[in-house]
Structure 1
Amino acid sequence: MYRHQLRSVHREVLEVLVKLYDQSRRMVKSREVAKILGKDEGTVRNIIMWLKSMGYVESRTGPAGGYVPTLKAYEAIKSIAPQLIEPGYGIVIVFRDGEDIRLAAISMEIIGLFSAEPARALVKVMGDLTLVEEGLRVRIESLPRRKLVIEGIIKRRDLNASELLVEMTKMAVIPEELVENVGSKRLITVKAKDSLREVARTLYVNGIRGAPVIDDEGNIVGFITTTDIAMVVANNEDVNAPVSKYMRRTVFTISSKESIAEAMRIMDFYGVGRLLIINPVTKKPTGIITRTDILRHIVAF
């Protein structure tokens, strides 16, 4: 669609800029482009500024500044559009009428962190801002390891600058830690043929809210929680029936070598509060990690 608008001198600069950005997922400096092309940096900078005026490039000033290609740039060179789940800074998730609108965040500035007023985040985004409205709830996550998570309300939308001003309600820094170092290695299991009454007693005695269910060969076949048991009691069903009748047959797992940020992502996505930890080599369960385990670790951190 845009190919005919670019002269060869513009195209070669844009193609190098896109390539460098795809490789590093960070702001690209004009001198980097100039070095690869063997051209004068001033000349390259002028070309990039023209590309910016035409909407092919976004820029940021300062020591950490530089340039990033827009979606229009990818269209122009008939390249593969970038996946918006791995942009240069992170991802912006806007919650509207039961659906998630995802935008790429290419830069963010936190304002008023030490002020008496609510702190705000000024986010430069890439994506369709016309789908976003002021007053909507938003979540900002840095990637790929989701070290920083911010939640808040959109206070201002600037279509011309491609910016959102977000009033922050929550902010958390997720430490880089492996699941195996945070979860519990004390794995309590119950047998599929055990009665629900026996399982309830096991959970109570061990002070836990859920446990994997195993068959006679020791294979995990399900999961049971105190919530499941409470529903059986509330419905006046048979608490002497085998747990296999009421257990959850989908067991959510995570590798012991994954990060706690990944554990949080899985829990959020599936709406569960615990994951079975699996050894990636033996494929055997080695423990369990819960939301509480992660929360305690973050608070201690």
Structure 2
Amino acid sequence: MRFSHEPARMSSIELTSSQRAILTALVNLYTEREEAVKGEDIAAEVDRNPGTIRNQMQSLKALQLVEGVPGPKGGYKPTSNAYKALDVQQLDSAAEVPVTHDGEEVDANVEEISLTSVHHPDLCRAEIHLRGSVRDFHEGDHVVVGPTPLSKLVVEGDVDGKDDTNNVLILKIDRMEAPAEQPAH
């Protein structure tokens, strides 16, 4: 998990919103399963036709963002360039930061928490960047994020918006809490 944007190292690659959505879905599914991902699974994730996915994969292969895996267990795998193009940190064992959606823990991990509009006296929002789909989240749903590994930060609020392409939830914060550290004796 990270708390600030790092400059993208692959800024020379401009992806269309469709390519970005497909690549994001591939990275999320690959991270979840740790095996090649079938085009049909990506198609279901981004709500597109499998033929469209196959066509897009050709251009993503040409950009060296995806590699094809032949055979019955085949599919697609993201290259390290894919993670760079999406500005996603590739960690061997990312710290787990739980996400609860309307009281149920979901299979997603928090990649970044950005606080926005903290200067506003009555309204504070947080952008929650997930490694996992935000498709099942809807405006008004209650979400609890955390605790984070180091500070034990917990952010709680209601979904105020979302960005499906970049897997971002925008929360209207109800509560934010990080327990104070005990002084050393």
TM-score if structure 2 supplies the norm length?
Answer: 0.50
Higher relative contact order (CA 8 A, sep 6+): 2
Structure 2: any 5+ residue segments left out of the alignment? 37-76, 79-90
1:55 equivalenced with 2:28 (yes/no): no
Q: How does 1:93-108 map onto structure 2 within 5 Å?
A: 93-96=100-103, 99-108=104-113
Q: 1:155 to 1:48 in 2, by over 3 A?
A: same
Q: Residue in 2 aligned with 1:92?
A: 99
CA deviation profile, 1:144-202 (whole Å, cap 9, x unmatched): 24521111111112212211010001111223338x98xxxxxxxxxxxxxxxxxxxxx
* Contact 1:93 1:102 survives alignment (8 Å): no
* Aligned match for 1:70, one of 20, 25, 28: 28
Q: Secondary structure at the match of 2:98?
A: strand
Conserved? CA contact 1:56–1:72, under 8 Å: no
SS of residue matched to 2:135 = helix
Equivalent-residue separation in structure 2 for 1:112 and 1:30 (angstroms): 22
Q: Indicate the residue corresponding to 1:136 in structure 2.
A: 141
CA distance in 2, matches of 1:137, 1:163: 15
The alignment of Structure 1 onto Structure 2 pairs a total of residues equal to: 126
d(CA) in 1 for partners of 2:24, 2:126: 25
For the aligned residue pairs, the C-alpha RMSD in angstroms reads 4.1
- SS, match of residue 132 in structure 1: coil
Computing the radius of gyration over CA atoms, which structure comes out larger, 1 or 2?
1
**Take 2:12 and 2:29, find their aligned partners in 1: how far apart are those partners?**
18
Letter in 1 for 2:30: K
DSSP-derived class of the 1:174 partner: coil
C-alpha deviations, 1:24-44, integer Å up to 9, x for none?
x669x899xxxxxxxxxx8xx
Percent sequence identity over matched residues?
A: 18
What is the CA distance between 1:47 and its match in structure 2? Answer: 9.6
Distance 1:71 1:177, change over 3 A: farther
Residue ranges of structure 1 left out of the alignment (5+ in a row)? 1-24, 32-41, 59-68, 182-301
1:171 aligns with: 176
* Residues 152 and 179 in structure 2, CA contact (< 8 A), matched pair in contact too: yes
**AA matched with 1:75:** E
CA distance in 2, matches of 1:136, 1:142: 19
Given the superposition, is the C-alpha separation of residues 92 and 49 from structure 1 closer, same or farther in structure 2, using an over 3 Å criterion? farther
Which structure's residues are more often helix, by fraction? Answer: 1
CA spacing shift, 1:47–1:104, aligned 2, 3 Å: farther
State how far apart, in whole Å, the 1-side matches of 2:177 and 2:93 are: 25
TM-superposition CA deviations, 1:201-224 (whole Å, max 9, x none): xxxxxxxxxxxxxxxxxxxxxxxx
Structure 2 counterpart of 1:151, from 156, 172, 185: 156
The residue matched to 1:55 in structure 2 has which SS?
helix
1:116 is displaced (CA, Å) by: 2.4
Partner of 2:114: 109
